[in-house]
Structure 1
Amino acid sequence: MDDLRRAPADNINGTDDDGRPKRTGTFYTASAHIITTVVGSGVLSLPWAISQLGWIAGPMALISFSLITLFASTILADFYRFPDPVSGRRNYTYMDVVKVNLGGRYNKLSGIAQYGNLVGFTIGYIITSANSMVAIKRSYCFHKHGHSFGCHTPINLFIIIFGVIQVFLSQIPNIQELSMLSLLTTVMCCCHASIGLGLSIAKVAGQYLNLSTSLTGVFIDGDKSNTNNLWTTFTALGNLAFAFGFSEVLIEIQDTLGSSKPENRVMKQASLAGISISTLFYMSCGLLGYGAFGDKAPGNILAGFGFFEPFWLIDLANIFVVIHLTGAYQICGQPVFGFVESFTRHRWPNTGLVNHEYAINMPGYGVYRATLFRMIWRTTYVIITTVIAMMFPFFNDIVGLTGALSFWPLTVYFPIKMRIERKKIPIFSFKWVWMQTLSMCCLLTSIAATIGSSQGIVKSLQTFKIFKSIA
């Protein structure tokens, strides 16, 4: 019945009901976008995060973040169209959704949170990719000279290399045209996660009687002060929150779906599939990685050299990581690009720099429509994020801080508040109380993770020499 209601909305001339080019996204492309975004650099830090929390709190926290993210994505999917979730007017961004449901003030706050954290995600992806590139070079060095050889390698060159690649990829006009890249990166993330999983299983099997793990994690480790253990525990929570961050781009992903079926129904199915697959990978990699390394789990399971051999397999896994995060950078960067470009088009509608398109015939692609502003703005954005990554290449702390800052406002607070407003849920009713309790618990978690990650960055800066990071 829903499909019959939607059919007349589509224009036979190749446009959708809003006059934009017909959307062609499907359940599979949406699931690929979700997996590409969710199973990003976060999966590499999971063994370290679990080691800080232990066998009890680690899996519980991981499952909790997964369920909360799934709950929030189900809520958000119904807000793509307004006021009716099936036949209402489209909202193209997270900010649009907040604006029509909560008003202008909340719209600005959500924009600061969303785009600020998307910038954080792209910086985190640069750092992670550069670490994997460095790991490829160091892996061969270790194989050639032995594991005790330093093989120290400057990281800045590899950060620049990744940035140059992104300068070209960032000229892809919009997120809908990333479908093939997203599918490729989904395969890559499954490959590198599977290699990490397989190596962890082999390591666990080889040292079954010598595992150094605990139920409560490194918090009870006598070699560290309770204060330091508390900070790292908070940072670990931020890493877990980062691992499930995709609410920032959910609406943008939903906006790629074809309208032959209700977008909210397809998006809920894609969210369930994407989060379920991601959680399965996370549980496997996180728990087996912790089982393999115990309290000495490296911050990055593939680039931190918990594994040395077979060196070629580790190199292959890190190549997969780089390819994967190349696409993930674009999935998170495209909403930022689109927001600025949309603003400038409305602000200066008659300016040629912003609005004049140059048609370029590209073999294998067709006609590419370029604008000078898009080229300048997107190149500038990549340069800025690349420089920031060179200034603060602290993997776990940056990942933790980004996850902490984004999790509560974007994944929990705004979806719950919009649900309460839309459904007119009475104050102090059972549903209102438990939703507000959930929001408050997530707020406290985000605050704790922010404090822990910030403390870690401050500590790292005390001995760090800017632009001179050595792996």
Structure 2
Amino acid sequence: MQERENVANSAVECGTACLELEFDEDGQAKRTGTWLSASAHIITAVIGSGVLSLTWAVAQLGWLAGTLSLFAFAVITWFAAWLLADSNRPDPTTGKRNHVYMDVVRSNLGGFRVTFCGIAQYTNLVGVSIGYTITAAMSMVAVVRSNCLHKYGHDAGCHISYYPYMIIFGAIQLIFSQIPNFHKLSFLSYLASIMSFTYATIGIGLAIAKVSSEGNHVETSLGGTKVGIDVSAADKIWKIFQSLGNIAFTYTFSNVLVEIQASSFMNSFFSVGVSDTIQTTPAKPAHKAMKKASTVGIFVTTLFYALCGLVGYAAFGNNAPGNFLSDGFTEPYWLIDFANVCIAVHLMGAYQVFAQPLYQIVEKKCAEKWPESGFIMNTYPIHIPMCGKPEFNLFHLVWRSAYVAVMSLVAIILPFFNDFVGLMGALAFWPLTVFLPIEMYIARQKLRRFSVPWICLQTLSMLCLIVSILATVASINGLVKSLKAFKPFHSVS
């Protein structure tokens, strides 16, 4: 918020000529993006750790339902993104632009839906922090284990515990969380983006190599895992819905559409939306460019997802691992090591992408409530060699450290990758990707209740709600079952 005010003040002080050159009419930095640049940023931000679970998800569903589910979620996400783009336009009377998802909801709907949006967003951010801690630890363990297997043979136990690596990852996040102006370190976003593309591509390549090898004889089917052979009848049903949550997680990108700044890919401040950085003219309005960017972005990511899920299923069959890079491949060990290092590096930066908005909102609310508190408001310059004198705030240290510590503790207690991914996808998909865009579109277009378009949109929303509820229940059931069989602080092999 302060950064936006500074930009606006700079525009005023600079004068009209400077405003025309460097700022748009609302005091924001000049928008120069196009649909092509926005497409690139959407693709780069969306392709991430969710692809690791798609092989397992397709194995639960089989060739038919797995393929249909991947493309059904893609079509629904694409359609909802178009509705969101139509809703994210400047106010026709005031010309005011919306810069974050909640602003769009506030300007179109208002009331309790704004609070609902905030709860959905921040719940998702907390869940992602836990999930990323689990995933990063799995990747670190995979590196150590693959080297152990290569050295001692594939019959060696190579028992390794996740917990030291969760603690290491948490310690790294403790340091990153205290970096002032972390949102300005755009090179970390670029690095994280390159890493996500790299490990997804390596995973696809390894799966193709495994499918084409002579010794690869795995069982696949139209219906996926078989009742009575691979799973029980009850587990089959639960895992079908849990796998839908895993797929939904990969397509939950409404935050990206509105709130990730295009100029720095996965900007961890979530300050300006992708569509808000697109250059707009009367002939080429931003919302139309955003529609085109969403189409290209979803098409490319769906292609990646289909390759990871379907080719991965062909490689591993009904016994597909939960994380096909950390648990699936063992050779060539150096390439698997590199892919898992890429995952860990990606998640080190991506964790902050999702944590920074939480840090900001809590610190802002506390500053507003206790403006006289020295603990909250006072900053102290500290001298760090080669880094100048960044300002240090005691409240930031305590609050951010406590957040990272709690997230790491929850990850240690519940280190279940697919269960958590499914839960996060189920909780976030319907409210952020489907419900709010549909409600905003209905309100903006003033669709009459029980008209044909209104009924069609509400039916889609209700169907997605039902799927999300079932996926949520299935993921919670999976967490409970995993917790019952879980032995804390035991190593894994």
Normalized against structure 2, the TM-score is what? 0.85
Q: Residue 90 of structure 1: SS of its match in structure 2? A: coil
Q: Deviations over 1:202-244 (max 9, x none)?
A: 1100148834110111154534221111111111101000111
Counterpart residue number, 1:199: 206
Measured after TM superposition, the shift of residue 340 of structure 1 is 1.7
**The residue matched to 1:210 in structure 2 has which SS?**
coil
Of 268, 275, 296, 2:298 maps to 275
> Deviation of residue 309 (structure 1)?
0.9
Question: 1:45 maps to what in 2?
Answer: 53
The residue type equivalent to 2:253 in the other structure is: F
* 1:182 maps to amino acid: S
1:134 and 1:218, CA in 2 relative to 1: closer, same or farther beyond 3 A?
same
Matched, 1:99 2:106: yes
Deviates more, 1:352-361 or 1:320-329: 352-361
Q: Secondary structure at the match of 1:89?
A: coil
Partner deviation per Cα, 1:323-342 (whole Å, 9 max, x = no partner): 11222212222222222223
Aligned partner of 2:450 in structure 1 is: 428
Q: Are 1:143 and 2:150 an aligned pair? A: yes
Partner of 2:225, secondary structure, is: helix
Alignment of structure 1 residues 82-231 onto 2, 5 Å: 82-84=90-92, 88-172=95-179, 176-207=183-214, 210-220=217-227, 222-231=229-238
Q: Find out whether 1:58 has 2:77 as its counterpart.
A: no
Q: Distance in 2 between matches of 1:181 and 1:25?
A: 22
Q: Which residue of 2 aligns with 1:71?
A: 79
Worse-superposed segment, 11-20 or 347-356: 11-20
Take 2:202 and 2:137, find their aligned partners in 1: how far apart are those partners? 19
2:162 and 2:491 in contact (8 A); partners too: yes
Describe the shift of the 1:116–1:300 C-alpha distance in structure 2 as closer, same or farther (beyond 3 A): same
Q: Which residue of 1 aligns with 2:5?
A: none
Counterpart of 2:279? 261
2:427 alignment partner AA: L
Post-superposition shift, 1:145? 1.5
In structure 2, the CA distance between the partners of 1:138 and 1:60, relative to structure 1 (3 Å rule), is: same
Partner of 1:4 in structure 2? none
Distance 2:243 2:345 in 1: 25
CA contact (8 A) 1:235 1:453 kept: yes
Deviations 1:88-134 (A, max 9, x none): 32334322322232223111122111100111112111111100000
Equivalent position of 1:441 in the other structure: 463
d(CA) in 1 for partners of 2:333, 2:378 = 50
Partner of 1:288: 311
Q: 1:209 to 1:368 in 2, by over 3 A?
A: closer
Q: Is the 8 A contact 2:230 2:318 kept in 1?
A: no
Are the structure 2 counterparts of residues 259 and 288 from structure 1 closer, same or farther at C-alpha, using a change threshold of 3 Å? closer
Report SS of the residue matched to 1:276.
Answer: helix
Change (3 A) 1:328 1:32: farther
When the two structures are aligned, how many residues end up with a matched partner? 462
Of residues 287-296 and 94-103 in structure 1, the stretch that sits farther from structure 2 once superposed is 94-103
Alpha-carbon distance between aligned partners in 2 of 1:264 and 1:362, rounded to the nearest angstrom: 45
8 Å CA contact 1:49–1:239 kept in 2: the answer is: yes
Paired letter, 2:325: L
Q: Residues 148 and 217 of structure 1: is their aligned pair in 2 closer, same or farther, counting only changes over 3 Å?
A: same
Give distance in 2, aligned partners of 1:188 and 1:221.
Answer: 40
User: How many angstroms apart in 2 are the aligned matches of 1:313 and 1:419?
Assistant: 47
| Distance in 1 separating the partners of 2:44 and 2:395 | 28
Displacement of 1:162 in angstroms is 1.1
- In the other structure, the counterpart of 2:326 is 303
Contact 2:140/2:340 (<8 A) preserved? yes
| SS at 1:451 equivalent | helix
Q: Report what 1:3 is aligned to.
A: none
Structure 2: segments with no counterpart, 5+ residues: 1-14, 262-271, 281-285
User: Partner residue of 1:377?
Assistant: 399
Asked if structure 1 preserves the Cα contact closer than 8 Å seen for 2:246 and 2:418, the reply is yes
Identify which range, 291-300 or 168-177, moves more after superposition. Answer: 168-177
C-alpha distance in structure 2 between counterparts of 1:371 and 1:10, whole Å: 35
- Alpha-carbon spacing, 1:66–1:133, altered in 2? closer, same or farther (3 Å): same
In 1, Cα distance between equivalents of 2:160 and 2:95: 55
Unaligned runs of 5+ residues in structure 1 are 1-6
Deviations 1:358-393 (A, max 9, x none): 566878877755543333322222121111111100
Q: Hey, what's the Cα distance between the residues in 1 that align with 2:212 and 2:457?
A: 43
Mapped to 2, the partners of 1:347 and 1:73 lie a distance apart of 36
Report the CA distance between 1:410 and its aligned residue. Answer: 1.1
2-structure distance, mates of 1:9, 1:424: 40
Contact 1:249 1:335 (8 Å CA) reproduced: no
Residues 314 and 408 of structure 1: CA distance in aligned 2, closer, same or farther (over 3 Å): same
Conserved in 1, the CA contact under 8 Å of 2:38 and 2:278? Answer: no
Query: C-alpha offsets along residues 387-429 of structure 1, whole Å, 9 cap, x if unaligned?
Result: 1111100000111011111111111011111110111011222
* Residues 124 and 424, structure 2, Cα contact 8 Å, conserved in 1: yes
What are the superposed Cα offsets for residues 286-317 of structure 1, whole Å, 9 maximum, x if unpaired? Answer: 1110000110111100111x211111110000
Secondary structure of the equivalent of 2:485?
coil
Write the deviation string for residues 139-171 of structure 1: whole angstroms up to 9, x where unpaired. Answer: 011111111222111111111111122222224
TM-score, length of structure 1 as denominator length = 0.88
Q: Residues of 2 paired with 1:52 and 1:67: CA distance? A: 21
Describe the shift of the 1:66–1:386 C-alpha distance in structure 2 as closer, same or farther (beyond 3 A).
same
Identity %: 49
Distance 1:390 1:37, change over 3 A: farther
Q: Which amino acid aligns with 2:60?
A: Q
